[in-house]
Amino acid sequence: MSELNFSKDKKLILSLIQPTGNSFTLGNYIGAISNWDKLQSEYNCVYGIADLHAITVRQDPAELRKNSLRAYASMLACGIDPQRSVAFFQSHNKCHAELSWVLGCSTQFGELSRMTQFKDKSAKHADNINAGLFTYPVLMAADILAYNADLVPIGIDQKQHLELARNIAQRFNQKYGDFFTLPEPYIPKTGEKVMSLQDPAKKMSKSDENPNACIFILDDKDTVIRKFKRAVTDSEAEVRYAEGKGGINNLMTIYSCFTGKNYSEIESEFSGRGYGDFKLAVGETVADRLEPIRNEFNRLINDKAYLKECYTEGAQRAQSITQRTISKVYHKVGFVDAR
């Protein structure tokens, strides 16, 4: 691969995704991944698999390795070009963990204790409330600030973590002089939160015990259509976006994201038609869009040598950016220069 030279005229955007489960969900795809390819033309892009974050909950080592490779291959299959963007594994760049320690010393205990996700995960994993689970928002801040990222694509549920990253950066800048860029959220206007197909009151999640609740981007066409056919709706049988119609609202949001049609256009398209027609249309539309991704994933996951070439080069590029940050941070806080 050729040397990657970021443009000084473009802002830097960073996005990391955890390698949990065998595949990304439709929510991951709509909320973040579907935008990644387009963003490569507009920004300097850094994309990573957040395997360090993954071990805040217990993992089987063999499964974590397999899922991490599958996540990386999925990322490339979704359009990330390792020759245009930095694409790497978080654990392959030591600067993330090194910066996390320094930033942790500029983070207040009370700030971390107020993190909503810490409370939620502590309740879910009551037998493993570890220090990493408590401090991982600091590592998330290090992920962002190590690259001085301008923008971070996030879902609504991650806004609190981004605000913490900004607070940490401001606190560091006030003490040691302006250095870190204050990151801004990049939130897609549509489909920023995809809900469960079986319980529209909660977010679509790969950990849902109901197999029909979640669409995975590597699901085959028959599976995708079957899950949409079984999606929970209501008794009205009218395709209309309105309060109290969570199931239909969710399906309309998904359909809008894949077709570009607004809610009024969708309502007109399915006027006088039942939910069965609508669910089938949503399923077929999503399945057709995901098919080339699944085909490309199958090609990539069977070419381990190419994947290794990509993530090795990606880690080198990531470290070349972040090592400069770490060196300057170490100097600012008063460490003796290594050379």
Write out the catalytic residue numbers: 121, 203, 206
Bridge partners, residue 167, by sequence: none
239 within 8 A of 216, measured Cβ to Cβ: no
Return the half-sphere exposure (C-beta side, CA atoms, 13 A cut-off) of residue 283. Answer: 22
Other Cβ atoms closer than 10 A to 55: 15
Q: Residue 177: which residues within 8 A CB-CB, separation 6 or more?
A: 332
Give the Cβ contact number of residue 334 at 10 Å: 7
Tokens of 232: 């929970």
Across 108-191, the runs of DSSP E, i.e. the strands, are: 151-153, 184-186
User: How far lies 338's CA from each of 186, 213, 219, in Å?
Assistant: 37, 53, 50
Phi-psi region of 272 (alpha: psi -120 to 50; beta: other; left: phi over 0): left
The token duo for 145 is 């600030």
The type of residue at 68 is S
